[in-house]
Amino acid sequence: MTKLADSFQRTINYLRISVTDRCNLRCIYCMPPEGIVQMTHADILTYEEIFILVKAAAELGINSIRLTGGEPLVRMGLSDLVRMIAGIKTIKDIALTTNGILLEKYAAELKDAGLTRVNISLDTLKPARFHQITRCGELEDTLKGIAAAEKAGLTPVKINMVVMAGTNDDELVDFAKKTIDDGWNVRFIEHMPVTGEGSANDLIPAKEIKKRLDVLGKMEPFKLEKGNGPAKYYKFPGAKGTVGFITPVTEHFCYQCNRLRLTADGKLRLCLLREDEIDLREPLRRGASTEELKEIIAKATAAKPKGHQLAEGIINKGRPFSQVGG
Ligand code: SAM
Ligand code: SF4
């Protein structure tokens, strides 16, 4: 098997693909209140174009794919793309990150097409607060999406909660209890003050979150079978589910970064929090061969930056996460 690596000897095997910049929600930490200027239809890669790039990347050593957005399920026929990618023999894992709103409708067909598992973003268990954080959504829809994903076997279903001081941090224990009572796998994500309304004051460091969960007992480290990410997992005594922590701000994990990103308009993004991008759409649309595309991807990967500088307060206010995929 070929191995794709960067100049810091990190093996790169994971590609996150943003299939659209559109979204059916407007989460306060992700989008500016006025929304974003949307890409045109012609800007966005077709499924066939994404497939060609994934095939080239797979030949270089990418074996794990995550589909994201915007909201990936607002793009018509996502199951078709999943089926195309699932047909590439060396791709072992195809996961989806979604807000869950449309998941009840699509979970079974996505599973049938070859999707392995889903991460669902959910920041509150309170309906009015859900509406406030997402600026328009209904909690009930996401809860139905979670149930549908579990029923379809898109497991382990992971619930991503972006923790924001004064907005939803009074629900940390409620979310952690769900890992005990309902077997949820909950991941607490440190808020990044990048594109939405939030500021650095919203941050609650993972260490503090962990301390606040002490009331539920002593959690023990736990190794999850499926996962590509930087989360650290734990379990409470007797819990079926897990608690995870993702610490992009207080304990960055750049040294073990294994990923590349493909934006909806065909740019290869080397780091979520840096602006370095390489255009793959232009060579793709002028008919570049697979070998040529592989060369461009490998060369770009070699130049992957060492890491971001959030901890030092250096923030890239460039593209919103809804365009880069989070
Ligand atoms: N719409 C899908 C969703 O919400 O899951 C996929 C795209 S969203 C940009 C991907 C992830 O980025 C979500 O889990 C979201 O919570 C996270 N995210 C967005 N803005 C963030 C921020 N400022 N800090 C931390 N995580 C953020
Ligand atoms: Fe949409 Fe996801 Fe961003 Fe929320 S976090 S606005 S659901 S892209």
What is the pLDDT averaged over residues 37-54?
A: 96
Give pLDDT, residue 275.
83
Which of 19, 20, 27 most suits a substitution to test ligand 2, by most atoms within 8 Å of the C-beta? Answer: 27
Q: Quick one: pLDDT band at residue 27, thresholds 50, 70, 90?
A: very high
Residue at 3 is within a domain: no
Q: Quick one: pLDDT band at residue 229, thresholds 50, 70, 90?
A: confident
Residue at 5 is within a domain: no
Atom number of ligand 2 nearest to Cα 31:
6
Atom number of ligand 2 nearest to Cα 70:
8
Domain containing 278 equals: 14-323
What is the pLDDT averaged over residues 138-147?
A: 98
Q: Is the CB of 160 under 6 A from ligand 2?
A: no
Q: Output the CA 302–ligand 1 centroid distance in Å.
A: 27
Q: What is the 3-state secondary structure (H, E, C) of 232-277?
A: EEEECCCCCCCEEEECCCCCCCHHHCCEEEECCCCEEECCCCCCCE
Residue at 7 is within a domain: no
- Specify the residue with its C-alpha closest to ligand 2, atom 8: 70
- φ/ψ (deg, to 5) at 235: -135, 140
Which of 21, 146, 162 most suits a substitution to test ligand 1, by most atoms within 8 Å of the C-beta? Answer: 162
Q: How many percent of the chain have pLDDT more than 90?
A: 80
Sign, CA torsion 163/168/173/177: negative
* Closest alpha carbon to 68 in 92, 91, 96: 96
Give pLDDT, residue 228.
66
Residue at 196 is within a domain: yes
Distance of CA 198 to the CA centre of its chain: 19
Residue at 234 is within a domain: yes
Which is more confidently placed, 22 or 307? 22
Residues whose CB falls within 8 Å of the CB of residue 166, separated by 6 or more in sequence, listed in order: 202
Atom number of ligand 1 nearest to Cα 120:
5
Residue at 6 is within a domain: no
312: CATH: 3.20.20.70
* Alpha-carbon separation of residue 63 from 38, 73, 137, 161 (angstroms): 30, 22, 34, 27
For the full predicted model, state whether its pTM sits above 0.75.
yes
Residues whose CB falls within 8 Å of the CB of residue 294, separated by 6 or more in sequence, listed in order: 56, 59, 60
* Closest alpha carbon to 251 in 182, 170, 311, 185: 311
Residue at 297 is within a domain: yes
Q: Quick one: pLDDT band at residue 280, thresholds 50, 70, 90?
A: very high
Q: How many percent of the chain have pLDDT more than 70?
A: 96
Q: pLDDT, tens digit, for every residue of 84-125?
A: 999 999 999 999 999 999 999 999 999 999 999 999 999 999
Residue count of the chain, please give it: 326
If one counts the domains in the chain, the total is 1
